[in-house]
């Protein structure tokens, strides 16, 4: 048996899904967080049943990709939990009526019940239930209120027997709303005033600049302090243990793989390149603090409802790149990790937009893991070098977007988006989301870091790095001005970009070399995790095109930087 959770975008389906199934999924305060349906299970009538979290749709007419998916899933479902936004009853009922025209049992959930109350909206549940002929329950999914009632009344779900034309549907909705809903007048709240101020250009642009500045300041502050006061002290306890182990192993291949090279007779976590030295230190002490800091701030931005407002403000710039405002959310997600960033491009309407967005992100948006190590590699030469790295990437992003928009055929649809109200993020949900993301970083990234470090050692031991260094010297040394050994970073960059940038630390690069290497590594190719997702999203042909752009542009930009710096 399959139970479907269906409703308009951003009404809290994913939160209800988490509550029902105990499966943790990412939910945020903007439309389109769920791009792929999620599956979970729950107990119903002493049976294990499947629950599916369907991407949000406004109607069952399959005009967009999300709606096509939803309609197809509806055919396979046995019951629908129709999640309704209590603060927007009228527009939500359109989908409700369409569902009641199908032969599938439906139960209606009036979510965001507390918010409706605050807005002075009163809905007569019992009357609505009588009119619709199916059970109606109210919930505040984020706190869990009403979920028990929903579960206990699931078996009362039944199909409707409506047959309406488009016009009749809206007429019926008008009748229902006038019978069950009362709205009491009240004054605008502070959050509403702020909400308007942040989309009006005169006040919105300064607010956006302030938010961005604050975001990066907080990420840097939290990241740096976590490293200095938490992770580095922790590793001070670990160092003696690793050193004793190093003495115990003596020398040889096993020592080189596990501990790596000793620098002046001591373990150097950045340079040694052993599995239990660099392989542990890089993901946990160098990258994790920044990943933590980034997702802490991102979670707050997502749940507050700020991101759609930012999307509206930058919409006209994004149009010049062949995209629209929503794509800025993909780019921000990409700053954390390119994988969720690439997946989120599905909310864009056309193939052309998705190609441009994914290519721009893969080429010019460095993930947090990579950024963390770039901060170390280039940052030790001062802030100036860091500025060049990120400004160069931004110029590449902008220019490539302008060019792709000019040369690719087709048009870009306009933005069409609901802007959710500002909400004070619920800390329980924030922490849960942060944990989901940290866990997926640990589970998905750490093994690749270790594999990367392991392969480096094997490649060195077999002399392959030296060999590659010789044959690629004309490019690496000739065009980019880097030492021959830097080729190893380009090889490992396919596995993990953070390890790759880390590989450059022992080479003692000058600032110019560090800048060139960081930019080229960011641009030349996505890491394997991103690559896999991009192949799936763009197709082999699309990915090949995208990859050609990446390699060419990386060499071009790297050479230019080498010449002008």
Partner 1 sequence: MGEFQTLAGMVVGKEGIIKKIEGGYGLQRRLACLGLRVGKTIRKVASEPLRGPIVVEVDGGHIAIGRGVAEKVWVEVK
Q: How far apart are CA 122 and CA 428, in angstroms?
A: 27
At 118 the three-state DSSP class reads helix
| Residue of 91, 172, 423, 432 interacting with partner 1 (CB under 8 A) | 91
Nearest distance from residue 96's CB to partner 1, in Å? 12
The reply to whether 30 sits near partner 1 by the rule CB under 8 A is no
Query: What is the footprint of partner 1 within residues 494-523 (CB under 8 A)?
Result: none
Per the structure block, which two tokens stand in for 346?
């599905």
The reply to whether 313 sits near partner 1 by the rule CB under 8 A is yes
Q: Which residues pair with 83 in a beta bridge?
A: 7, 109
The reply to whether 151 sits near partner 1 by the rule CB under 8 A is no
The reply to whether 200 sits near partner 1 by the rule CB under 8 A is yes
Q: Residue 83 in contact with residue 13, Cβ under 8 Å?
A: yes
Per the structure block, which two tokens stand in for 473?
């010297």
Per the structure block, which two tokens stand in for 266?
């001591």
The reply to whether 68 sits near partner 1 by the rule CB under 8 A is no
Nearest distance from residue 302's CB to partner 1, in Å? 17
Q: How far apart are CA 316 and CA 207, in angstroms?
A: 17
Q: Residue 94 or 524: which CB sits closer to partner 1?
A: 94
The reply to whether 99 sits near partner 1 by the rule CB under 8 A is no
Q: Residue 60 or 249: which CB sits closer to partner 1?
A: 60
Closest CA to 85 of 119, 61, 127: 119
Stretch that binds partner 1, among 32-40, 200-208, 354-362, 383-391 (CB under 8 A): 200-208
Per-residue interface string for the shown chain with partner 1, residues 397-416, x marking contact by CB under 8 A = ----------------xxxx
Query: What is the footprint of partner 1 within residues 325-364 (CB under 8 A)?
Result: 325
The reply to whether 544 sits near partner 1 by the rule CB under 8 A is no
Q: Residue 516 in contact with residue 325, Cβ under 8 Å?
A: no
Nearest distance from residue 62's CB to partner 1, in Å? 11
Nearest distance from residue 120's CB to partner 1, in Å? 9
Q: Residue 83 in contact with residue 106, Cβ under 8 Å?
A: no
Q: Residue 31 or 105: which CB sits closer to partner 1?
A: 31
Residue with tokens 């830097």: 486
Closest CA to 226 of 284, 269, 171: 284
The reply to whether 525 sits near partner 1 by the rule CB under 8 A is no
Closest CA to 376 of 236, 517, 524: 517
Nearest distance from residue 90's CB to partner 1, in Å? 6
At 27 the three-state DSSP class reads coil
- Per rule CB under 8 A, count of chain residues that contact partner 1: 39
Nearest distance from residue 194's CB to partner 1, in Å? 12
At 526 the three-state DSSP class reads coil
The reply to whether 65 sits near partner 1 by the rule CB under 8 A is no
Q: Residue 94 or 531: which CB sits closer to partner 1?
A: 94
The reply to whether 311 sits near partner 1 by the rule CB under 8 A is yes
**How many Cα neighbours within 13 Å face the side chain of 369?**
26
The reply to whether 147 sits near partner 1 by the rule CB under 8 A is no
The reply to whether 175 sits near partner 1 by the rule CB under 8 A is no
Q: How far apart are CA 138 and CA 550, in angstroms?
A: 51
- C-alpha dihedral sign at 449, 450, 455, 456: positive
The reply to whether 201 sits near partner 1 by the rule CB under 8 A is yes
Stretch that binds partner 1, among 82-90, 432-440, 446-454, 523-531 (CB under 8 A): 82-90
Interior/surface letters 93-121, b for 16+ CB within 10 angstroms, e for the rest: bbbbbbbbebebbbbbbbbbbbbbeebeb
The reply to whether 307 sits near partner 1 by the rule CB under 8 A is no
Q: Give residues with Cβ within 8 angstroms of 238, minimum separation 6.
A: 280
Nearest distance from residue 308's CB to partner 1, in Å? 7
Helix 528-564 / helix 383-407 crossing angle, nearest 10 deg: 110
Q: Residue 202 or 407: which CB sits closer to partner 1?
A: 202
The reply to whether 418 sits near partner 1 by the rule CB under 8 A is yes
The reply to whether 271 sits near partner 1 by the rule CB under 8 A is no
The reply to whether 117 sits near partner 1 by the rule CB under 8 A is no
Q: Residue 67 or 485: which CB sits closer to partner 1?
A: 67
Q: Residue 170 or 245: which CB sits closer to partner 1?
A: 170
Per the structure block, which two tokens stand in for 151?
């579960």
Residue 182: count other Cβ atoms within 10 Å of its Cβ.
10
Q: Residue 355 in contact with residue 542, Cβ under 8 Å?
A: yes
Per the structure block, which two tokens stand in for 220?
């840097």
- C-alpha dihedral sign at 317, 320, 321, 324: positive
| Residue of 23, 59, 472, 559 interacting with partner 1 (CB under 8 A) | 59
The reply to whether 164 sits near partner 1 by the rule CB under 8 A is no
The reply to whether 62 sits near partner 1 by the rule CB under 8 A is no
Q: How far apart are CA 33 and CA 418, in angstroms?
A: 13
Nearest distance from residue 422's CB to partner 1, in Å? 10
Nearest distance from residue 108's CB to partner 1, in Å? 17
Residues that bind partner 1 (CB under 8 A): 8, 58-59, 61, 63, 87-88, 90-91, 94-95, 119, 121, 166, 170, 183, 195-196, 199-201, 204, 308, 311-313, 315-316, 324-325, 413-421
């Amino acid at each position: 048996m399959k139970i479907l959770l269906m409703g308009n975008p951003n009404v809290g389906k994913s939160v209800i899904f988490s509550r029902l199934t105990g499966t943790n999924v990412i939910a945020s305060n903007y439309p389109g967080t769920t791009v792929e349906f999620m599956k979970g299970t729950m107990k119903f009538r002493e049976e294990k049943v499947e629950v599916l979290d369907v991407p949000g749709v406004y109607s069952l007419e399959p005009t967009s990709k999300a709606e096509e998916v939803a309609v197809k899933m509806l055919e396979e479902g046995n019951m629908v939990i129709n999640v309704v936004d209590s603060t927007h009853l009228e527009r939500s009922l359109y989908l409700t009526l369409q569902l009641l025209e199908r032969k599938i049992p439906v139960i209606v959930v009036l979510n965001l019940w507390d918010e409706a109350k605050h807005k002075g909206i009163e809905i007569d549940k019992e009357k609505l239930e009588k009119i619709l002929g199916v059970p109606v329950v109210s919930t505040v999914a984020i706190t869990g209120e009403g979920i028990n009632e929903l579960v206990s009344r699931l078996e009362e779900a039944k199909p409707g027997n409506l047959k309406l034309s488009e016009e009749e549907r809206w007429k019926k909705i008008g009748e229902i709303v006038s019978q069950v809903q009362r709205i009491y007048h009240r004054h605008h709240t502070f959050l509403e005033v702020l909400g308007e101020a942040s989309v009006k250009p005169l006040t919105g642009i300064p607010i956006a600049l302030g938010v961005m500045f604050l975001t990066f300041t907080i990420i840097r502050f939290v990241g740096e302090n976590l490293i200095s006061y938490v992770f580095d002290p922790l590793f001070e306890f670990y160092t003696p243990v690793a050193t004793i182990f190093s003495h115990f192993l003596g020398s040889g291949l096993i020592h080189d793989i596990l501990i790596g090279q000793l620098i002046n007779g001591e373990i150097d976590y950045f340079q040694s390149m052993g599995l239990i030295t660099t392989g542990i230190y890089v993901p946990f002490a160098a990258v994790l603090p920044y990943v933590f800091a980034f997702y802490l701030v991102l979670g707050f931005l997502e749940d507050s409802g700020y991101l759609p407002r930012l999307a509206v403000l930058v919409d006209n710039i994004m149009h010049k790149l062949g995209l629209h405002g929503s794509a800025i959310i993909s780019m921000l997600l990409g700053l954390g990790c390119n994988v969720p960033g690439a997946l989120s491009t599905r909310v864009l309407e056309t193939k052309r937009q998705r190609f441009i967005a994914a290519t721009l992100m893969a080429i010019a948006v460095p993930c947090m893991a990579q950024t963390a190590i770039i901060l170390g590699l280039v940052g030790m030469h001062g802030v100036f070098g860091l500025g060049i790295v990120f400004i160069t990437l931004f110029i590449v992003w902008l220019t490539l977007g302008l060019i792709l928009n000019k040369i690719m055929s087709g048009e870009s649809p306009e933005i069409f988006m609901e802007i959710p109200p500002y909400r004070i993020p619920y800390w329980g949900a924030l922490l849960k989301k942060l944990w989901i993301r940290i866990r997926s970083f640990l589970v998905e990234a750490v093994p690749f870091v270790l594999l990367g470090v392991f392969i480096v050692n094997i490649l060195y031991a077999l002399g392959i790095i030296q060999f590659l260094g010789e044959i690629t010297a004309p490019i690496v040394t000739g065009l980019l001005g880097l030492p021959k050994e830097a080729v190893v970073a380009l090889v490992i960059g396919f596995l993990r970009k953070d390890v790759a940038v880390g590989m450059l630390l022992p080479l003692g690069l000058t600032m110019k070399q560090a800048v060139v290497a960081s930019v080229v590594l960011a641009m030349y190719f996505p890491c394997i995790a991103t690559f896999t997702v991009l192949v799936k999203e763009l197709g082999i042909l699309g990915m090949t095109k995208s990859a050609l752009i990446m390699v060419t542009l990386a060499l071009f930009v790297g050479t230019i930087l080498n010449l002008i710096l």
